[in-house]
Amino acid sequence: MSDHQAAWRRLRAAGAAAAARPIASLFDAEPDRLEPLTLTACGLYLDLSKQPWSLKDLGLALDLARAAEVEVARDRLFAGAMVNPSEGRAALHMALRAPQGSAFFAQGEPVSAEVEASRAAMGAFAGAIRTGTRTGATGKPFKAVVHIGIGGSDFGPRLVWEALRAPVPKIELRFAANVDPAEITQALAGLEPAETLVVVVSKTFTTQETMANATIARAWLRDALGAGADSHLVAVSAAPDRAQAFGVRADQVFGFRDWVGGRYSIWSAVGLSCAIALGPEVFEALLSGGAAMDDHFRQAPLEANAPVLLALAHIFNRNAMDRPVRAVVPYAQRLRLLPNFLQQLEMESNGKQVRTDGQPVSQATAATVFGDAGANVQHAFFQLMHQGSDVIPADILAVARSADGHPESQTKLLANALAQAEALMVGRPESEVRRTLAQEGLSAGEIEILAPQKTFPGNRPTTFLLMETLNPETLGALIALYEHKTFVEGVIWGINSFDQWGVELGKTLAGRILADLEGEAPQAHDPSTLALIARLRS
């Protein structure tokens, strides 16, 4: 048995013991529990003390990370080694946010000078749009940007915009991702073409949904502006020739390399729309926050490393305690899209059943992620969280000081966040419920019926992540934290976190079915699909 296999066996045994132990009891059994299970990094405070592991279990989890050679894998990642073997690529999104003068290499090729040139071009373009020195075809300044992209070309920019936007922005930013015509219609509704810039983001410039929406937006511009409309088109792509063939001027095409994965691409020219709408200085501060977390991840020992500890808490729940679902609940309306972002980051990265060597995995991989903004969800799925038949670990995020005013409301929000984390852990025992009901004057028969219904089992684990303030730096650090968490999990599971072959089959079949729906003789499909095609064609 290898050291790695032995470490897995010990961790699973620890999980079995943890299942029979109240989390709250660990605070009495381990008086020094808080110190090793809390840490501060890059403006983020991470509290893992309400997780079900004991300090001994934490040591076993760290042993697993070492047996999986997480530190070696981390060094290879930052060195630009081929960490995406199925596609023969590095994964070097860290280079995109590194300080000037850095020296990153992608499989031996220096890339930092190219990255810095791209950032400078983005900043200059965004600044010219914001100051009005670069105008539209009629000489009017741009007042709106429509960002068209899907998947990684959408989730990151949309999250950043929602998190950092001003209540009344100088430049409005709208998004269209879904090929559902409702989205592009709503994105363009009420805008003046002469004052609108359309940014099309597609690595290949062939993505079906993106190109369908881009074609509609281009027609909308050309109908209003004629020959000058193409000056309102911007492309972000690794295929500049296709972008120019679509009608984008060469000086308005911004590129990125194939070592930038879609779900890791907000740091690249994919973030151009945010740089325009928020300001290039805000975008640079976002990059700075991400780079700070890179430094922490790269330098901190495993036992004091925020991404590593966050990953190990997830693995302890997922693998040692067989909990396949995790909730992410930001008590910050500005971060309401974080669960959506993490769904792609974690489930697309680590939703794998085969290791990098082509063999089946020997343990479960990525959990299902869901969530939304607190306190709203206390009136939705928290009933399930507290009293449902499944234990669902949760990441609860909060912001200590809001920049949006109304401090009394912020205090109430924070009280809810803290209360929910405590309530999920401690619960309410039936004996306490029975005493309360008796004091309220209920009969013995009524108590017998109501007491079990009002009992909270507790022992539901949470990770609490507190941000001092939500600003570009802390947002950048937060996104990078979860990126590196996802990478660490992939290393421990032995899978490739940087490919996404599971996305391809449905896209291939959609192309065939599109031809069927547009009038060609239907190809071979299962009986259900053929019946649906026939119904839609009738």
**What whole-number distance in Å separates Cα of residue 421 and Cα of residue 261?**
34
Cα-Cα-Cα-Cα dihedral sign, residues 415, 290, 340, 305: negative
Find how far residue 150's CA is from the centre of its chain. Answer: 14
- Establish how many alpha carbons lie within 13 A of residue 319's alpha carbon, considering only the half-sphere containing its beta carbon: 23
Q: Tokens at residue 438, please?
A: 């008796």
Which of 93, 203, 232, 348 is catalytic? The answer is: 348
Provide CB contacts within 8 A for 31, sequence distance 6+.
Answer: none
379 is catalytic: yes
Q: β-strands 196-201, 233-236: how paired?
A: parallel
Pair 51, 317: CB distance under 8 Å: yes
Report the first-to-last Cα separation within the chain, whole angstroms: 61
Q: From residue 520, how far is each of 477, 510, 516, 530 by CA, in Å?
A: 50, 14, 5, 13
Which of 56, 406, 412, 507 is catalytic? The answer is: 507
Pair 195, 139: CB distance under 8 Å: no
Residue 246: count of CB within 10 angstroms of its CB: 20
**What whole-number distance in Å separates Cα of residue 86 and Cα of residue 338?**
28
109 is catalytic: no
Q: SS3 of 326, please? A: strand
Cα-Cα-Cα-Cα dihedral sign, residues 398, 400, 401, 405: positive
507 is catalytic: yes
Q: Which of 293, 211, 209 is nearest to 479 (CA)?
A: 293
Q: Tokens at residue 174, please?
A: 């709208």
User: Which residue carries 């330098």 as its tokens?
Assistant: 299
Provide CB contacts within 8 A for 75, sequence distance 6+.
Answer: none
Amino acid at 270: V
Pair 303, 474: CB distance under 8 Å: no
Pair 395, 465: CB distance under 8 Å: yes
Q: Which of 116, 146, 153, 323 is nearest to 237 (CA)?
A: 153
User: Which residue carries 């027609």 as its tokens?
Assistant: 219
Provide CB contacts within 8 A for 366, sequence distance 6+.
Answer: 346, 347, 349, 350, 351, 352, 489
Residue 473: count of CB within 10 angstroms of its CB: 20
Amino acid at 127: G
Active-site residues, by number, are: 348, 379, 507
